[in-house]
Every structure is written in C-alpha cells, then in structure tokens.
Structure 1
Amino acid sequence: MRVLQIINSLGTGGAEKLLLDTIPLYRAQGIEMDILLLWDNDTMFTRELQKMNCCKIHIIKKSNRIQDIYNPFAIFKIAKLLKQYDLAHVHLFPAQYYVVFANLWNGRKTKLVFTEHSTYNKRMATPILNILDRLTYCFYDKIVSISKDVSLALEKHIPTQKQKIILIENGVNLEKIENASLISKNEIHPNLSDTDFVLCQVSAFRAGKDQLTLIKSLQYLEEKFKIVLIGDGSESEKEKIIECIKHLKLEDRVFLLGIKSNIYSIIKSVDINILSSKFEGLSISSIEGMASGKPFIASNAPGLAEMVKGYGVLFEIGNQKELAQHIVDLSIDSSYYQSVVLSCKLRAAEFDSAKMVAQHIQLYIETYGSK
C-alpha cells in the first residue's frame, strides 16, 4: 500500500512535528509512505526529514511567501500526485479542501483520510465557510479525531458524518525525551543564569496559543522568574508579542528562541513548562511537556483540560493572575512540585507514538481494503 501524507508545510506546529517523528516509524513497519507539502521555505523540519532519507518529499511551491500555501492552482498538481498513491492522509486547512477537489478531478480514485487536530477553527463561525467546511468532510472515507474533545466538537459540527469519526490519540517518542541531555540555563539563552526560575512555552505564534497571558503573568512575579518562548509563525502575532514585552518593560525577562533543534533538552532543563492556549486538539507540546520531568501548567481549554486535569495544573483561560499564583505555589513547595512532576510523567506514558502508529496502520488497511 502506498500512502501519501499531505500537509500545508513542515513549519513549526504539532501536526508538522508529528509527521516528522512518525514517518520513519511507518516506513519501519513496511508502509510505503511519502509526504506532500503545499509550500516550503527550507524549514528545519524539512531539512531533518531530508537527512533521514526515509521518504520522498514532494513540494508544490518553494518560496519565501507563506501565502503561497493558499494558491488554488495547487489542486492540479495534487491531483497528478494522488494518482500514484492508494491512500492520502491529509492534515490542516487549506490542504483539507484542496485534496478533496483534486480527488474529485481524478474521479475519486484515491482513498482519503483526514485528521482533525483542533476543537475549533474560524470557518465554523462564518455561515458560508461553515457549510463548505462541512461539505468537505463528506468526501473523506475516514476522519481521525486526536482526542475526545475533538470528537465531541466534530460530532456537533458534522453530525451526518459521525460514523466516519475514529479516535486515535496523538503520541510522542517518549524514549527520545527520556534520553535528551540536560543543559545549563545559560545554554538555553546567554542572558539566563542558574539562579533564574525559567518558564517555557513551546508553541507556534498564533492567536489561539495566547503567549500574551503567560508574558503578562510576569507582572505578578519576582525578577528571578524568566520566560523562554520556542516557536515561530505569524509575523503579526510575533509583533504583538514583541510589543507587549516592550510595553511591560520585560525585555530582560522574556526571550524568543525561535525554532530549536534541541527542544527536548530545553524542556528538561527549565523549571516549569506551560501552554496557555485558548483551544487545542491533543497538543504534542502538552505530552512532551508532561514527559519532561518538570511540572506542566495549562489553560483549562478544550483539548488541554482533557489531557491535563488531575495530573498537571490548570488555570482559567486568559487569567494571568491565577497562572502567576500557580507558578509561585510550585516554586516554593518542593513536595508539591515533585508530586506534579510524577503525575505528569505517568499521564504522558499513556501517549507513546508506537501505539498511535499501529492504530493508524490498522485504519489504513481497513480503509483501503474497503475500496
């Protein structure tokens, strides 16, 4: 069976990281799997996948303009490539739409699987786009939900397609995290020292990730508390973050690290890992943060609450004061700190990538077998 993974790009993001980590695992299990990117700007994840030399990487457009992801003429190039594969596994918008149109152009000869990675998207709130969004799901043979919260959101959004929804929770390579080496705080950023109490958030710069709440929480914390933000993304969101840092005069306490290849070493070497999102699916960053051996704090948001409740620490979405208090509580109570660490690691152990890959392979076999 020949499977083509299709995604907008291999920029920073949970879905992108998931493919980077798991394509070699599918290959090792005998699945002939390649990947198609709508756009690429020589990203770190693309380079890492190229170094592995484990699959073909098809790229529709190489450019410096991320807007090229939205070029509808990509549909015809996708259609040509689809003919070479038995099944396509699609992730994110607009790939979600373009692959449907491409497969229709080909007479629906390729089986389609789509993974829904979030509990919410902006199209749901726009009447015309809401209808179009629901229509596209009709042309997928199976729809993978990555968490129970995502399943509930999908069942509400596309009730007529409920029978197609399959729950397969995300997973990470826990062994890689366990084996990652510790580094000094000065190695994380030159302006950090081992006396600093370092908070870390790994997430793309998108409005839904809400890094601003984490940054604003520093107003209620002592000078020793510092933040490192790992990731990249929307330039407009990045500008808002930089503007907020300058406005609050936090330039010496908040550091933007960009995209890092040693993320596991960093999350194991900071003091607390945090995710302040307004909504999620089943965040790869949350699993990695909980597996890091450090406490994990998250907003009580759809997708995150399901993962973290009863294990890590939750705070009300956007409540910077409550977040600050949780940080203080962990910093002054070593017993509480260690109990949260232990609970988080136990929770993360449930989400190993090998389990997820095996479930996907079974889904591919069942879906293609119904052809």
Structure 2
Amino acid sequence: MKILLIINSLGTGGAEKLLLDTIPLYRKSGIEMDILVLWNNNHQFINALKSLGCCKVFVLKESGNYKDIYNPLNILKLMPYLRRYDIAHVHLFPAQYYTVFANLLIGGKCKLIFTEHNTTNRRIQKNYFKAVEKIVYSHYKRLVFISDEIYGIYRNYIPKFESRFVTINNGVNLDAIRSAMPIHNKTEIYPIIKKSDSLILQVSAFRPQKDQKTLIKAMALLPKNVVLLLVGDGETRKECELLVSELSLTDRVFFLGQRMDIPQLLRTVDVVVLSSKYEGMSLSSIEGMASGKPFIASNVPGLSDIVDGAGVLFECGNSEELASRIQEFLGNETLYEDTVKRCMIKSEQYDIKKMVTQHIELYKSVY
C-alpha cells in the first residue's frame, strides 16, 4: 500500500504542520507514505521534513509565489505521480480539485481521500459552486472531517455522500510540547524583551481567517510590560505590521515569522492566545492547552467546542474583553493555575498517536 499526501504547500498553517509531524509516525508504523506539494518557496516545514529523510518529497514548483498553486497546469503535472500510488490523501483547495481532474485523466487509477479542515470556505458560501463541488466530492472514496461540527456542516451541504464521511480528530505531539525546555533568556526570542516582561503568544498564519488585529488592539489596552509575540507568516502580515505602527506598539509587539521552536516558545510565555474568525479544529489551540499555560481563544466555530470548559473564550473581535481576560490571568494566580489544569486535561483527548492509528485503519479499508 503506497500513499501520497498532496497539499498546496508546507508553509505556515495547522494542516501543513500536521503533515510534518505525522509522516514520520506513519513511516515508523510501516506505511509507505510520501508527500507532494504544488509550491515550495523554501518553507521551513518542508526543509525540516527533507532533513528527516523519512519520505520522498515532490515539488511541482520550487519558486515563484503562492498564486502558482492555482495554475491549472498543475493538473497535468500531477498525473505521473498519481500513477505511482494506490491512495492519494489530499488536503486543502485547490489541490482538492486538481487531484480529482488529474486522476480522471489517468482513468481513475488512484483511490482518493480528502480531509476537510475548516468549518467554512468561500466555495461553500456560494450557491453557484455547489454543482462543481458535488462532482469533485463524488470522486473521493472517503471524506475525512476533523471535527463533528464540520461533519454536520457537510452533512447538510452534500448529504448524498454521507456514507463516505468519517470523523478523525486532528492530534498534536503532546510529549514534545510537555518535555520542551523553556527559553530562559528572553532576549534570545527578541533582543529588547526584558526579563520582567509578561509574554503573550499567538501561533497562526497571517490569513483573512485569522484575527491578529483584535489581539494587537488589545495590547494597546494592557500595561507596557506586557509583550506580544506573533509567530507565523502570510498575506495579512503587512496589514498587522501597519496597525502595530499606527498604535505605537512597535516596542511591544514582535513578528517572529516562521519558527521551528514552537514547543519551547509555548513553555516560555505566560499566556497563549488564538484570536480567529473561524477554525476547523485548531492544532494551535490544542498545543496551547497542552503547554502548561492558560489559553484564551475567540468564541467561534472550531474553537468553542475545544476550549469551552478548559480555557477561556472571548467574543470574536472584542479587543476590550480580550485585554481584560489577559489581565485577569496576569493578576490572579489561582485563576491561572486552575485554568492550566483544565487545559492540560482537555488536551489529552487529542494525542497525535490516536489520530495516526485511526488514519491507518482508514487507509487499509480504502485499499
């Protein structure tokens, strides 16, 4: 059984990080698995995967820009790779569409699986996409949803294919996070951070889906010894940098770009936040809850179910409430410790080993 994972790129993002973390585990379990990306651009995740030497890494476009993933020529480029594998497991759009079209051109030789990572997208919101969507989804043997919430949304959207639905929660490497050592010298993170500063961390790509702007606005309401670290990269980063400048927060909000030391950062900071407009099933939220630090998140689909009863939720876009929540944790040790305990317990439900086992069973059933 030969499996090819297909994704747009291995840039910053939860789905991308998930593949980096899980491929070595599949290989260790005896699954012959490789990965193909439509675009590379020297991302740290793909470089890290290559350095492991655990699988083949195929790249359709090495340079250029993110728009290259939408080039229809990718359909033709995918064809020879699909001929070599029994199963292609696809993540994200447009890889979702292009893989189906390429497989049709080779006579449907490869069996296809698709994982839906989000509660919403632009296509599901537009009625004129629905006919095309039905055609595309009809060519997948299994449709994997990373939460029951997403399952329910697609049960209403494409009920005809429910017999192919399966829910498999994403997981994180809890051991790696909990065993990580904190960064004792804060200046290693950013040179002007002081030892006495309280550190707030958000790990997420800079995309319209995310809402770093609300967190940045909250910083303007917090004491000057509270510092924000934003990890990730993407199309909305420049907008956020401009907002930081407009609010005169350049000495308190730092953009760290892509980082490979997320477990160490999580163990170093004081509070972990995820301000977002919607999620599928956020890996960052699980990692945040597993870190031994209190976790705060937007009360939105894909986050509320995970965080409720463990971390703290705030109204999406409400910077005043978010600032108040952060201040409560920094000033109330009992609240801080109680929240940490609840978060740690909740995170146990999302161990990456459980997810890998479920996927292997899925592959065997399709094969």
Give TM-score scaled by structure 2 length.
0.98
1:280 maps to a residue whose letter is E
Kindly indicate whether the alpha-carbon contact (under 8 Å) linking 1:185 and 1:270 is maintained by their aligned counterparts in 2: no
- Secondary structure of 1:354's aligned partner: helix
Whole-angstrom CA distance in 1 between matches of 2:130 and 2:63: 30
In the TM superposition, what is the alpha-carbon distance from 1:128 to its structure 2 partner? 2.3
1:345 maps to a residue whose letter is M
Runs of 4 or more above 3 Å deviation: none
Structure 2 equivalent of residue 329 of structure 1: 328
Structure 2 equivalent of residue 262 of structure 1: 261
In the TM superposition, what is the alpha-carbon distance from 1:176 to its structure 2 partner? 0.8
Structure 2 equivalent of residue 249 of structure 1: 248
Structure 1: segments with no counterpart, 5+ residues: none
2:173 maps to a residue whose letter is N
Structure 2 equivalent of residue 12 of structure 1: 12
1:317 maps to a residue whose letter is C
1:29-68 maps to which residues of 2 (within 5 A)?
29-68=29-68
**Number of residue pairs aligned between Structure 1 and Structure 2:** 366
Structure 2 equivalent of residue 211 of structure 1: 212
Structure 2 equivalent of residue 112 of structure 1: 112
Whole-angstrom CA distance in 1 between matches of 2:335 and 2:243: 32
1:106-185 maps to which residues of 2 (within 5 A)?
106-183=106-183, 184-185=185-186
1:220 equivalent to 2:226? Answer no
Structure 2 equivalent of residue 347 of structure 1: 346
In the TM superposition, what is the alpha-carbon distance from 1:127 to its structure 2 partner? 2.8
- Secondary structure of 1:122's aligned partner: coil
In the TM superposition, what is the alpha-carbon distance from 1:359 to its structure 2 partner? 0.1
Structure 2 equivalent of residue 294 of structure 1: 293
Once the two structures are superposed, residues 326-350 of structure 1 have per-residue CA deviations (whole angstroms, 9 ceiling, x without a partner) of: 1111111101000101111111111
Structure 1 equivalent of residue 93 of structure 2: 93
Kindly indicate whether the alpha-carbon contact (under 8 Å) linking 1:134 and 1:157 is maintained by their aligned counterparts in 2: no
In the TM superposition, what is the alpha-carbon distance from 1:155 to its structure 2 partner? 1.4
1:72 maps to a residue whose letter is P
Larger deviation, residues 179-188 vs 313-322: 179-188
In the TM superposition, what is the alpha-carbon distance from 1:224 to its structure 2 partner? 1.2
Structure 2 equivalent of residue 190 of structure 1: 191
Sequence identity (%): 49
1:271-282 maps to which residues of 2 (within 5 A)?
271-282=270-281
Whole-angstrom CA distance in 2 between matches of 1:220 and 1:47: 39
- Secondary structure of 1:209's aligned partner: coil
In the TM superposition, what is the alpha-carbon distance from 1:181 to its structure 2 partner? 1.1
1:98 maps to a residue whose letter is Y
2:290 maps to a residue whose letter is A
Whole-angstrom CA distance in 2 between matches of 1:141 and 1:176: 33
Whole-angstrom CA distance in 1 between matches of 2:259 and 2:134: 36
Whole-angstrom CA distance in 1 between matches of 2:311 and 2:152: 23
Once the two structures are superposed, residues 203-243 of structure 1 have per-residue CA deviations (whole angstroms, 9 ceiling, x without a partner) of: 00001111000000112211111110000111xx1121011
Larger deviation, residues 150-159 vs 113-122: 150-159
1:233 equivalent to 2:255? Answer no
Whole-angstrom CA distance in 2 between matches of 1:153 and 1:186: 45
In the TM superposition, what is the alpha-carbon distance from 1:130 to its structure 2 partner? 3.7
2:273 maps to a residue whose letter is I
Structure 2 equivalent of residue 365 of structure 1: 364
1:202 equivalent to 2:203? Answer yes
In the TM superposition, what is the alpha-carbon distance from 1:355 to its structure 2 partner? 0.5
Whole-angstrom CA distance in 2 between matches of 1:322 and 1:104: 51
Kindly indicate whether the alpha-carbon contact (under 8 Å) linking 1:231 and 1:259 is maintained by their aligned counterparts in 2: yes
Once the two structures are superposed, residues 39-83 of structure 1 have per-residue CA deviations (whole angstroms, 9 ceiling, x without a partner) of: 111111111111110101111111132211111111112111101
Whole-angstrom CA distance in 1 between matches of 2:131 and 2:326: 43
Kindly indicate whether the alpha-carbon contact (under 8 Å) linking 1:115 and 1:143 is maintained by their aligned counterparts in 2: yes
Query: Cα distance 1:324–1:134, how it changes in 2: closer, same or farther (>3 A)?
Result: farther
Whole-angstrom CA distance in 2 between matches of 1:297 and 1:168: 24
Whole-angstrom CA distance in 1 between matches of 2:244 and 2:174: 34
Structure 2 equivalent of residue 28 of structure 1: 28
